[in-house]
Amino acid sequence: MADNWIESKIHEGEITEYKFEEFEECKMISSGAFSKVYKARQRSTKTTYALKMIENNEHINKELANELKHMISMKSHKNIIEFYGITKSKDQMDPSVIKYVLVLEYADGGTLRDYLKNNATKIEWELKIHFAIQLVDAVRWLHDCDIIHGDLHSNNILIHQDSLKLADFGLSQRIVEAPKSKSTSEVFGIIPYIDPQCFIVEKQDGKSRRQKMNKTSDVYSIGVILWEISSEKPPFKDEDTATLPFRIRSGLREEPVADTNHKYITIYERMFIL
């Protein structure tokens, strides 16, 4: 059971446990199908953290355990959100239900998606290149640790003091698994970032299966995000979402934005054909 594994790691000291009462001034800053994220301050140190409260069910706890295994197995990186430990919160409606809460580094600039939107036309190319280098470096670090992110998109990348931070590797449900918990807008919002090979359905043992995410899948996603950084807008924003997976699989890609450095274009276009 995932719960048992998490509790054993807390007991062994591999995961630091915080008391929920240590935190104050909690303010929700984002919510998803299976989690809510709060900005909170630790009473004793006055340090600001992000508290990610996870819904309690067997499948999600299994995904949580997988993410925690990644977090405690790798060394920290300046462009990956730092994991500090875990705390527990009682469900307000049913106190017998305990929810795990990740204690994470707080990023003050929001998501990359929002940052690009809110600062459109004002971002210098020097900073865009800075973001691109940090993104590539962070994903390379994960791959060197044999970790596949598998869910790279601009809402899973945070900005903190003009630096980029990766978040949510291992926990988010993959689009190719068609999770029922995601809304239609969430599902179609992620499609442009997915390796086209993962849309191909193959028959194995009489069952239809899609290709699993791999390191090349992450590289493709990086290419899409580099285009997004250059354009300052989400990919395929005005395309028909119903046919988008088929068209991407058939070779549809965003066109380079005017005045983009040709070397920058070459780099992300190479990521589309690996």
Instruction: Dump pLDDT digits (tens) for 30-45.
Output: 887 778 899 999 999 9
High-pLDDT (> 90) share of the chain, %: 60
Cα–Cα dist 56/169, whole Å: 19
Closest CA to 81 of 121, 33, 49, 113: 49
Cα–Cα dist 159/130, whole Å: 12
- Domain(s) labelled CATH 1.10.510.10 in the chain stretch across 112-271
- Contact partners, residue 37, CB within 8 Å, separation at least 6: 28, 29, 30, 31, 50, 51, 52, 53
Instruction: Quote the CATH superfamily of domain 112-271.
Output: Transferase(Phosphotransferase) domain 1 (1.10.510.10)
Judge: domain 2-105, CATH 3.30.200.20.
yes
- Domain(s) labelled CATH 3.30.200.20 in the chain stretch across 2-105
Q: Which residues of the chain have pLDDT under 70?
A: 1, 169-189, 206, 208, 274
- Contact partners, residue 112, CB within 8 Å, separation at least 6: 131, 154, 155, 157, 158, 159, 164, 225, 228, 229
